Structure 1
Amino acid sequence: MNRLIGLFLMVLLSASCAKEENLIPDLPVNFSAPLTDPRLSRLSTAGGAVSLTGYGVAGIIIYRRADNAYVAYDRCSTVNPEKKNAVIVDDPSLTATDQVSGAKYSLYDGSPVKAPAKTSLKKYTVIITSSTIQVSN
């Protein structure tokens, strides 16, 4: 009986210590547009962000950081990702919020800044060539 209880406790502890995984599905993302595209007008200055639908799981967010680097994330919240709740860019555009769970994420690096989020937003590759931006995975 003691062996059974010990085994049960070991299984319970190993399950609770398991690393949280980012369960956002891997869908093909291939967005490309000139930086002069009117949909991207908010990216003309540092700190600007745009949300686009039709890409990834719940759309994508492209953010222009203060160092003028561009980053892109899937809008799918990492809290209950199976529900595919899209995060909304806050004003000012330093964070994005899952309006269902209340979780917040930094747009600088996608990291969680408010519980219940524990995992960063799914990040995509951004390439700038001359006057075109491309987001892909």
Structure 2
Amino acid sequence: MAAQPNAQADNQGEFRDELASMHEAFPVLAEGLSGYLSALDSLPGIDRKTHELIRLTCTVILRHGPAVRRHAMLAAEFGASWQEVLGTMVLTQPSFGLVPAREMLPFAQEGFEEGRQALTEE
């Protein structure tokens, strides 16, 4: 069984900062989003590694570097290999072209390395 994710200050902090900013402007929306994201993390039917690889694909398509880093990190913490992360990113190319995957590759590499490092520190 894969290890549970270790909270990474950089990635978690960025998300908390975004959520805090949203909470200031739209408190009800921020609370709803937080609950929604928590529910997404516990969806039945697929294992957590696959869940993170799917979310990685979505964030690559959106070209959201911090989210790519976060989901690559979590995928690694749940047992994904670099080949699985890279393969997930390559799957976006037929429909969305080479550019999103190429641009997001450094974020994915950074997140994957953070996730693997977190596993060795446990």
Q: Would the TM-score normalized by the shorter structure come out above 0.5? A: no
Higher helix share: 2
Q: What TM bracket, shorter-length normalisation?
A: under 0.3
TM-score where L is the length of structure 2:
0.26
Higher strand share: 1
TM-score where L is the length of structure 1:
0.24
The structure whose RCO (Cα within 8 Å, separation 6+) is larger is 2
